[in-house]
């Protein structure tokens, strides 16, 4: 999850420590991390939080913004990209070449292997040390070892001292389309969210999401349902500042449910939030929480979950309460529904974060925290499709970014019953049939692989994509809503590995 907060530099020296966790996998093996690799230049100052895109367990792309902070270019904040492949670090590419302000890159690689990169930009010439706010969203994609020419995909004039591009998040839906959500800060009307959709490297018109938010996160489940958590500022004299709310969308962000209160903050506001979806369709929300009114660090990291988005578990503290405070965290959930959480612990104002720590949730309780690295901050973590955890963090004193990953997958098998795996591929007749306007389609897979299920009219024109993603072996069903189609006969086709099968269905309105 991408976060945009200024780096807090420590006065302590950076020292790496080896790290072994407590028992972690189903086979009770300990997690071990590779030796961290410095992936940024050592003579520049960072201006963005860590982010990366995992192509596979041995191929990572890192975007970041930095400034030399030396005359005459001390105001220039440029966007850089670097690759780490099979242990070899590539040369650095300067994407913006001595511009004045590049901000908050966000990156994602789709299922076709195309990497998409978005960042904020402003061409205004600053005077002195004036901070320039982002007004434009720029976009480039990486395909066949070549980056496309950057292009503007959104522009909004700067709002007083506020940014028009802030805190971006990218996610893929089942049709391999990217959804970009970002915040526009407006001192008069509040911080609004905006959404754009990418398909085949082309972007849709922008649409506004009707929420004010101090912080937010969203994710998309396998049925393309959007799940969002927002810290919604309240106008009640500060008593309910940044309470935690959940909402959802079933039409790709065109409309949203009424937000449901997950946690009421009172005077002790929430600060940073992340949402996770597990294999059982449970929704997990993790957030930092102020307990003493300290505005620089939070004294608790809370976790709550729900199976329906309506009833939520009592928030539990994921780690022992700290008198110093937590600044940032990053979480990932694996195929066995275990949550992996990395966080930095703040040591006080002028000292900065002093260490990164790790804990995990096994479905019942959180493990005893284990220290990762000293004098480190700004963790960003992702889990790849093969079960490796990837971690990027920042040297708390100098701002260098360091990358490490687990030496082995954090899980070596998925908790499944062998009898639940079919012995052959199959696509079944939809039911009901005829239908109006919804019907259910069942299918089965004996092996893991990439699956597509598409619907065509009688002229062979594609009218819907129901599945377009990697699937594990097992039994599945899809609820298809044809309310936007006219009455008639349609054909639905599954393609999985070398298996292709089609069936007809009749829509009668």
pLDDT mean for each 10 residues of the chain (509 residues): 38 28 40 91 69 89 79 69 92 81 89 91 64 79 93 77 79 92 71 82 89 89 93 65 92 92 85 93 93 72 95 92 80 94 76 80 91 90 92 86 92 54 87 88 90 94 93 88 93 93 93
Query: Is the peptide bond preceding residue 336 cis, with omega within 30 degrees of 0?
Result: no
Eight-class DSSP state of 2: -
Structure tokens at 467: 């599945």
- Find the farthest-apart pair of alpha carbons in the chain and give their distance in angstroms, rounded: 72
Burial class (CB in 10 A: 0-12, 13-18, 19+), 365: exposed
Helix (H, G, I), strand (E, B) or coil at 158: coil
Domains defined for the chain, CATH in brackets: 418-507 (2.60.40.1930)
Q: Within its chain, how far is the Cα of 89 from the centroid? A: 24
pTM value surpassing 0.85: no
Q: How far is CA 475 from CA 381, 390, 417, 452, 466, in A?
A: 30, 30, 12, 15, 15
DSSP reduced 3-state for 418: helix
Give pLDDT, residue 161: 58
Which pair of tokens denotes residue 118?
A: 């978005």
Residue in 59, 100, 60, 58 with CA at minimum distance from that of residue 79? 100
pLDDT computed for residue 28 by the predictor: 43
Residue 286 near residue 272, CB atoms below 8 Å: no
Per DSSP (E only), the strands in 265-352 are 270-277, 283-289, 300-306, 316-317, 326-333, 339-346
Helix (H/G/I), strand (E/B), else coil: 420? helix
Residue whose tokens read 């965290």: 329
> To 10 degrees, the CA torsion angle through 92, 93, 99, 104?
-80
Contact 119, 79 (CB under 8 A): yes
């Amino acid at each position: 999850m991408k976060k945009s907060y200024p780096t807090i530099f420590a006065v302590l020296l950076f020292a790496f420590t080896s790290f072994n966790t407590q028992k972690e996998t189903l086979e009770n093996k300990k997690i071990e991390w590779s030796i961290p690799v410095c992936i940024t230049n050592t003579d520049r100052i960072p201006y963005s939080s860590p982010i990366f895109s995992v192509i596979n367990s041995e191929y990572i792309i890192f975007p970041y913004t930095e400034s030399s902070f030396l005359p005459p270019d001390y105001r220039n904040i440029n966007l850089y990209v670097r690759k780490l492949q099979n242990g070899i670090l590539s040369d650095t590419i300067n994407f913006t070449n001595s511009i004045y302000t590049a901000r908050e890159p966000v990156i994602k690689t789709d299922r076709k292997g195309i990497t998409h990169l978005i960042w904020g930009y402003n061409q205004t010439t600053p005077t002195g040390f004036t901070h320039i706010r982002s007004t434009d969203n720029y976009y480039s994609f990486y395909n066949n070892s070549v980056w496309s020419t950057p292009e503007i995909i959104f522009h909004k004039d700067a709002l007083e001292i506020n940014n028009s591009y802030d805190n971006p998040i990218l996610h893929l839906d089942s049709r391999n389309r990217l959804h970009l959500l970002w915040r526009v800060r407006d001192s008069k009307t509040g911080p609004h969210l905006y959404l754009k959709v990418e398909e085949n490297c082309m972007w849709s018109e922008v649409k506004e999401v009707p929420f004010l938010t101090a912080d937010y996160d969203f994710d998309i489940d396998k049925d393309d349902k959007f799940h969002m958590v927002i810290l919604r500022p309240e106008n009640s004299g500060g008593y309910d500042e940044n309470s935690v709310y959940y909402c959802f969308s079933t039409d790709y962000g065109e409309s949203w449910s009424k937000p449901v209160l997950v946690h009421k903050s009172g005077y002790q506001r929430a600060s940073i939030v992340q949402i996770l979806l597990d294999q059982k369709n449970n929704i997990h929300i993790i957030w930092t929480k102020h307990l003493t009114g300290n505005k620089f660090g939070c004294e608790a990291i809370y976790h709550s979950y729900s199976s329906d988005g309506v009833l939520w578990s009592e928030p539990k503290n994921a780690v022992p309460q700290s008198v110093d405070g937590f600044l940032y965290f990053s979480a990932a959930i694996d195929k066995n529904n275990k949550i992996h959480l990395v966080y930095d612990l703040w040591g006080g104002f002028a000292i900065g974060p002093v260490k990164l720590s790790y804990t995990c949730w096994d479905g019942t309780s959180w493990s005893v925290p284990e220290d990762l690295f000293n004098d480190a901050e700004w963790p960003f973590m992702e889990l790849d499709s093969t079960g490796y955890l990837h971690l990027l963090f920042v040297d708390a004193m100098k701002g260098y970014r360091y990358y490490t990953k687990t030496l082995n997958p954090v899980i070596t098998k998925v908790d499944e019953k062998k009898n639940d795996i079919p012995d052959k591929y199959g696509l079944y007749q939809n039911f009901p049939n005829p239908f109006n306007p919804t019907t259910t389609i069942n299918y089965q897979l004996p092996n893991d692989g990439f699956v597509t299920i598409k619907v065509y009219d009688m002229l062979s024109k594609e009218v819907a994509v129901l599945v377009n993603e990697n699937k594990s072996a097992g039994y599945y069903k899809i609820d298809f809503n044809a309310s936007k189609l006219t009455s008639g006969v349609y054909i639905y086709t599954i393609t999985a590995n070398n298996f292709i099968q089609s069936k007809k269905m009749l829509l009668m309105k």
